[in-house]
Amino acid sequence: MAMLRAAKHAMRSLGSTAPEAAPFSRMLHASPGSKKIVGVFYKANEYASLNPKFVGCVEGSLGIRDWLESQGHQYIVTDDKEGPNCELEKHIHDMHVLITTPFHPAYVTAERIKRAKNLQLLLTAGIGSDHIDLKAAAESGLTVAEVTGSNVVSVAEDELMRILILVRNFVPGYLQVIKGDWNVAGIAYRAYDLEGKTVGTVGAGRIGKLLLQRLKPFNCNLLYHDRIKIEPALENEIGAKFEEDLDAMLPKCDIIVINTPLTEKTRGMFNKERIGKLKKGVLIVNNARGAIMDTQAVADACSSGHIAGYSGDVWNPQPAPKDHPWRYMPNQAMTPHISGTTIDGQLRYAAGVKDMLDCYFKGQEFPAQNYIVKEGKLASQYL
Is 151 considered catalytic here? yes
Binding residue per annotation — 313? yes
Q: Which of 94, 116, 103, 6 is nearest to 60 (CA)?
A: 103
User: Angle between the 206-215 and 152-167 helix axes, to the nearest 10 degrees?
Assistant: 50
Q: Which of 80, 123, 165, 215 is nearest to 339 (CA)?
A: 165
Residues sharing a CB contact under 8 Å with residue 170, sequence separation 6 or more, in sequence order: 164, 333
d(C-alpha 290, C-alpha 285), whole Å: 11
Q: Which member of 151, 286, 369, 370 is catalytic?
A: 151
The residue type at 225: H
Q: Which member of 331, 337, 348, 369 is catalytic?
A: 337
Binding residue per annotation — 151? yes
Q: How many residues does the chain have?
A: 383
Binding residue per annotation — 261? yes
Q: Which of 326, 101, 289 is nearest to 207 (CA)?
A: 289
Order across the sheet with 221-225: list the strands. Answer: 240-242, 221-225, 198-202, 255-258, 282-286, 307-312, 332-334
Binding residue per annotation — 278? no
Q: Which member of 91, 289, 324, 348 is catalytic?
A: 289
Q: Is the CB of residue 145 less than 8 Å from the CB of residue 99? A: no
Binding residue per annotation — 263? yes
Residues sharing a CB contact under 8 Å with residue 19, sequence separation 6 or more, in sequence order: 135, 138, 139, 376, 377, 378
Binding residue per annotation — 339? yes
Binding residue per annotation — 206? yes
Q: Which member of 318, 331, 346, 370 is catalytic?
A: 318
Is 289 considered catalytic here? yes
Neighbours of 196 (CB within 10 A): 11
d(C-alpha 133, C-alpha 122), whole Å: 11
Q: How far, in whole angstroms, is CA 75 from its chain's centroid?
A: 25
Binding residue per annotation — 262? yes
Beta-ladder partners of 182: none
Binding residue per annotation — 338? yes
Over the Cα atoms of the chain, what is R_g? Answer: 21
Binding residue per annotation — 207? yes
Is 71 considered catalytic here? no
Is 9 considered catalytic here? no
| Bind-site residues for substrate | 127, 151
Q: Which residues carry out catalysis?
A: 151, 289, 318, 337
Residue ranges at the known binding site for NAD(+):
206-207, 226, 261-265, 287, 313, 337-340
Q: Which residues are annotated as a binding site?
A: 127, 151, 206-207, 226, 261-265, 287, 313, 337-340
